[in-house]
Amino acid sequence: MTENVEILVQQKNYLASHETVGVQQRIDLLKKLKSYIENHEQEILDALYADFKKSHFEGYATELLVTYKEINLFIKKLKQWSRPKRVLPTLFNFPSLDYIYQQAWGQVLVIAPWNYPFQLAINPVLAAIACGNSVILKPSELTPHTAKILEQVLHAVFPKEIAYVIQGGAETSTYLLKQKWDYIFFTGSVPVGKIVAKAAAEHLTPVTLELGGKNPCIVDETANLAIAAKRIVWGKLINAGQTCIAPDYILVQKKVKEKLVKLLIQEIESSYTKHIDQSPDYPRIVNPKNFERLAKMLSNEKLLYGGQLIESELYIEPTLIDEPNLDSEAMQDEIFGPILPILSYTDFNEVEHSIQHFPHPLSLFIFSENATRAKQWMQQFEFGGGIINDTIVHFVNDRLPFGGVGNSGMGQYHGKHSFETFTRKKAVLHRKTWIDLPFRYPPYGDKLNLLKRVKSWFT
């Protein structure tokens, strides 16, 4: 910790907004980043496997592919996004030229999570740098192999006055948050998000908080149950359920519950075989603390499937819980693991009661062939992002803003939304001097009556 603090003090004093580095130079840095990642793909995938046995396919699809997509978009669009935008002037300022400039914030702190430790660290960092900021990244200490790779990548690609990685645990994060930053980007849990927001408020620092919540998945009686089961199982069990936008619990119409449960079990075993602990495609829980937290949720619950625990391997079998109480251990907080409670309903009031029992979720999923009903329910509830007839895939469309509401977060990013997050709009008005109408200057005399007559010109 002491060494990290000393490095931080020296490095933060050295960091500066590098907007003087032109857009083309930043694009060249992004190309260098992409090339470096491509040349070290295997090391990155090996690090992800070492941290929690994430398969190479899943690592490439959920970490590298998403990163390449973001880099390519910024390389293609950065010049266009960075140009000043001309806006119509007001008659009151005639003659003038009015612009909106996109200005980098300056020194940015990015605190990254452990569940997707590469892409959820590198993507906000590359966006912030592309926008003209300098960045200090604090990777998660819970995924040390990936954290080491992140340090290697960023220090190899970017000058240290533009990007620097500080390793460490909670003490390092606490120290970082005591410093004054121009912007803070945090991805993680709701409790820590509140700590970050409080620390940022001390310096009136703007923040983006990407948090989580209990994401409901509604399955009505009209749903294509086979497709629903396949897509729910995939969205829930990718990364062993350690995904902030994964379905957290199912609300299924009572008359189709039994059939859905059978299909869910079939899909689990089709994806990972009956010997799931031996599947090369099924990851592990990140550490013993999270394993114990998840194991506790299974106490005193009726299980429809699963429940096997292998503590020495940090393995938790995909598990379906039958009709837990809304105040039970499994329903208190975001599960963040391969445990899926299933609750049945008979009418919309029960759905509404269950969802509104919890703070606004990060995601909401509805499976229904009744398009009118699905759209109505999407409008009914507050959430960060929603999908009809699928799960989690809204994350990959960079044209959609990604972010939460209330307890599930504040601020949005991905694609151009990342550009807008890591810059602020600066208004610039250029008045001409070839004419200067006297109307606005005192003495005002009887100008008030004239102003009232022409007010429609200015409003």
Instruction: Give catalytic residue positions.
Output: 210, 244
Question: 279-288: string of b/e by CB count within 10 Å (b at 16+)?
Answer: eebbbbbbee
What DSSP string runs through 190-256?
Answer: HHHHHHHHHHHHHTT--EEEE-----EEEE-TTS-HHHHHHHHHHHHHGGGG--TTS--EEEEEGGG
Distance between CA 97 and CA 107 in Å, rounded? 31
Reduced to 3 states (helix: H, G, I; strand: E, B; else coil), residue 338 is: coil
Distance between CA 364 and CA 382 in Å, rounded? 9
| Orientation of helix 371-380 relative to helix 348-356, angle to 10° | 30
Phi and psi at residue 55, in whole multiples of 5°? -60, 155
What DSSP string runs through 43-92?
Answer: HHHHHHHHHH---HHHHIIIIIHHHHHHHHHHHHHHHHHHSPEEEPPPGG
Q: Say how far residue 378 (Cα) sits from the centre of its chain.
A: 20
Reduced to 3 states (helix: H, G, I; strand: E, B; else coil), residue 362 is: coil
CA distances to 189, 199, 234, 411, 455 from 194, in Å: 9, 9, 31, 14, 46
- Please measure the distance between the N-terminal and C-terminal CA atoms of the chain and give it in whole angstroms: 58
Distance between CA 196 and CA 216 in Å, rounded? 26
Distance between CA 341 and CA 232 in Å, rounded? 12
Residue 76: which residues within 8 A CB-CB, separation 6 or more? Answer: none
Six-digit token string for 54: 């994430």
Longest dimension (CA), the chain: 90
Phi and psi at residue 209, in whole multiples of 5°? -120, 115
Please count the other Cβ atoms lying within 10 Å of the Cβ belonging to residue 40: 16
Question: 344-376: string of b/e by CB count within 10 Å (b at 16+)?
Answer: bbeeeeebeebbeebebbbbbbbbbeeeebbee
Residue 253: which residues within 8 A CB-CB, separation 6 or more? Answer: 219, 220, 221, 344, 345, 346
